[in-house]
Amino acid sequence: MESEEPDNNAAETPVDWPYSGWIPTAVGRLSFRHIGDTDFPERAEYANRVDAGDFRYIVVRQYRALSDALFPSLTDTISNRSGRFVFVLTARSDQKTSNNDARIVGSVFIVPDFKPAPVAGSPGMPGQGEIASKADEAIKAINSNRSYGPDRSPEGECASIDNYLVHHTPIRIAFALSRDGVVRIAKPAFTDVELGGKSIEQAKARGVDYERYLAEQAYFFLRDVAHAHQHHEPQTDTLLGLQETDPADIEWRNRLLFALHHHVIGQRRQGDPETLTRTLGVIAYARAFEACSGKGLQGKKLVQFENDSLAQSVAASVRACEIRALETERRRAHGRAMAIWASVAVISILAIFVQPRLNLHEAEAFPRMYAISTVFAEYIVVAIGIAIMLPLAVAWRNWARQVDNRVGSMRNTLRAPLYFNSLKVSLAYIALGLVLIGYGISVYFPVIRPLVSGLLMALFAPQIE
Amino acid sequence: MLHYIAAIPAFFLGLLLIVIGLSGFRVDRTEAGKNRARIDSWTDILMGRVRPKDDWMPDSRVQCGMVYNRKEHRLEVSGRLSVESLKRGIRRAG
């Protein structure tokens, strides 16, 4: 089960590195200095130092919540599953950092949440907390030493934690990351053979190549720690996936370009300015990848896309969207101004013409108006409460209508109707909503009722002469 | 007193569910059909077992993760609709 360790200095062959991918970089040169400095999906602890010999050493530890259940804290607990993993990266540059062709080579270790201990018969593995503590100790040691002696060098710390992780974590995935963002990934090595066997077997039954799937998880982790997501939702991890390395080292690059352009074309059809503007960034990535791939292909041709025309076309769409948005905003502003003007006119009329009549002397002359005024005065607290609640309810409704603003479990809840285009599902949501609103109103109805009935009486009851 | 406190979030949650239910009427039929093809039953949505396309072209409609099954001592594939898929499903409706 355990795969052989690839030679990091060997040529990129499908045997050594069966998977290839790209960590997007618009400038064409990835900044190794920033590897580890990320808050997505959670804050990563990291050390990223260059030693006196000009070699870079990196250790990154991150917790990653990978369960895609609608309500993971509920269903995963009930089904005795856990989507919480610890990912640890240990790596070093394979040449001095002054060399422009230096790569970062190392391993990604994946630690599931073994709690309680794995089933009998499998090798005992330390828990996530212990692994994370060991990694954090190494990170702290590397970060705290400004000058390195032979016994406390980043090389020694890095080698020490790497050796510990090799023997105490169930999954290790080797990788090599080039300056141009190209990342080569090896097949996962399972220290826990039973875990590997069972995982692959179960995935196979569902038609999934688990070794590739796991390598992709390592790639997503690498991408998160080495790249800031700017032109897509950070949760969209499948914009760029891993490709299988081909002997000519070109087919995977073409596929990656197809994937980028597939994304661009899909996004163009969304028609909102933010998505379209982000699409321009993805086109910039495609250009950068074409440029960095072209350098090493020695005459072999990548598939050609007219990226200049595409970018101009998208920019024109962005402009058209902006003009439409401005026109819509102008109409809305006009509507708001009219509403405010009407409100001011009504309030002014009430204040100027009606208010002076609200006194005891005029009560007999304007009995209905006086009765309404009396009801409001009597239930002033309830009236103020309703006056506050109504705009809040309207604001909440508007907030809820904006999909982008929905967070966490609300986003998850929203996903359910998207599978079904079903009247029943929508009606079920509406019915449940009505029940909850009905409950809210029924609780407060005794408080509101006197005001409502008083107003109705004042408005419609026959006046006694 | 407890009822008075609970009634306010219930009111707003109810309003939210009605808005979501109404947005369900605007779901793009084609997108919903594609999403439906990725699951076997509604429990797949609940448990996060939405299938991505097994293809070299990345499937941006699904975001993929994994879970560790403690009982069986194995890692399992996990997936759900992506945020962009969610936007696409609602916004393109018409």
Tens of pLDDT, residues A308-347: 999 999 999 889 988 988 999 999 999 989 999 999 999 9
Does the residue A230 lie in any domain? yes
At residue A125, the pLDDT reads: 79
pLDDT above 90: residue A152: no
Q: Which amino acid is at A139?
A: I
Torsion of CA A142, A146, A150, A156, to 10 degrees: 10
Closest approach of B30 to chain A, Cα-based (Å) = 9
CB A404 within 8 A of CB B90: no
Chain A, 45 to 74: residues with Cβ < 8 Å from chain B are 65-72
Domain end among A207, A236, A265: A236
Domain that holds residue A398: 360-460
Q: Which amino acid is at A363?
A: A
Give the residue-averaged pLDDT of A119-123: 51
Q: Which of A27-31, A68-72, A135-139, A150-154 has the lowest mean pLDDT?
A: A150-154
pTM as predicted: 0.81
Kindly state whether residues A232 and A322 are assigned to the same domain. no
> What span, in angstroms and rounded, lies between the C-alpha atoms of A224 and A380?
56
pLDDT above 80: residue A305: yes
Give the residue-averaged pLDDT of A205-226: 92
Kindly state whether residues A113 and A205 are assigned to the same domain. yes
At residue A51, the pLDDT reads: 85
Does the residue A1 lie in any domain? no
Residues contacting A131, CB < 8 A, separation 6+ = A86, A88, A109, A111, A165, A168, A169
Do the Cβ atoms of B18 and A72 come within 8 Å? Answer: no
Cβ of A120 under 8 Å from any chain B Cβ?
no
Nearest to A403 among B36, B76, B90 (CB): B90
Kindly state whether residues A405 and A262 are assigned to the same domain. no
- Backbone φ and ψ of A45, nearest 5°: -90, 135
Give the residue-averaged pLDDT of A213-228: 93
Residues of A in contact with B86 (CB under 8 A): 403, 411, 414-415, 418
Residues of A in contact with B69 (CB under 8 A): 79-81
Kindly state whether residues A159 and A34 are assigned to the same domain. yes
Domain end among A357, A374, A403: A357
Kindly state whether residues A29 and A146 are assigned to the same domain. yes
Q: Which of A65-74, A158-167, A261-270 has the lowest mean pLDDT?
A: A261-270
Please give the structure tokens belonging to residue A403.
């999909």
Q: Which residue from B minimizes the CA distance to A420?
A: B32
Kindly state whether residues A54 and A196 are assigned to the same domain. yes
Does the residue A9 lie in any domain? no
Count Cβ–Cβ pairs < 8 Å, chain A vs chain B.
Answer: 272
Please give the structure tokens belonging to residue A125.
């593995």
> What span, in angstroms and rounded, lies between the C-alpha atoms of B50 and A205?
15
ipTM rounded to 2 decimals? 0.84
Tell which wins on pLDDT, B57 or A439.
A439
The mean pLDDT value of chain A amounts to: 85
Does the residue A6 lie in any domain? no
Do the Cβ atoms of A413 and B36 come within 8 Å? Answer: no
Res. A236 pLDDT band, cuts 50 70 90: low
Kindly state whether residues A260 and A384 are assigned to the same domain. no
Kindly state whether residues A81 and A193 are assigned to the same domain. yes
Does the residue A12 lie in any domain? no
Cβ of A400 under 8 Å from any chain B Cβ?
yes
Nearest to A67 among B28, B58, B67 (CB): B67
DSSP letters, A73-98, are: HHHHHHTTEE-EEEEEEEEEESS-TT
Kindly state whether residues A350 and A448 are assigned to the same domain. no
Nearest to B77 among A201, A213, A400 (CB): A213
pLDDT above 90: residue A62: yes
Residues of A in contact with B30 (CB under 8 A): none
At residue B29, the pLDDT reads: 79
Kindly state whether residues A209 and A264 are assigned to the same domain. no
At residue A1, the pLDDT reads: 38
pLDDT above 80: residue A422: no
Closest approach of A147 to chain B, Cα-based (Å) = 41
Kindly state whether residues A305 and A403 are assigned to the same domain. no
Q: Which amino acid is at A117?
A: A
Kindly state whether residues A23 and A170 are assigned to the same domain. yes
How many domains does chain A contain in total?
Answer: 3
Residues of A in contact with B24 (CB under 8 A): 417, 420, 422, 425-426, 429
CB A313 within 8 A of CB A58: no
At residue A309, the pLDDT reads: 93
Does the residue A154 lie in any domain? yes
At residue A65, the pLDDT reads: 93
Q: Please report the beta strands in A315-412, taking only residues with DSSP state E, as ranges in sequence order.
A: none
CB A179 within 8 A of CB A102: yes
| Mean pLDDT comparison of A149-158, A380-389, A395-404, B33-42, highest-scoring range | A380-389
Domain end among A310, A325, A357: A357
**Percent over 70 (pLDDT), chain A:** 86
Closest approach of B93 to chain A, Cα-based (Å) = 11
Do the Cβ atoms of B19 and A397 come within 8 Å? Answer: yes
Does the residue A5 lie in any domain? no
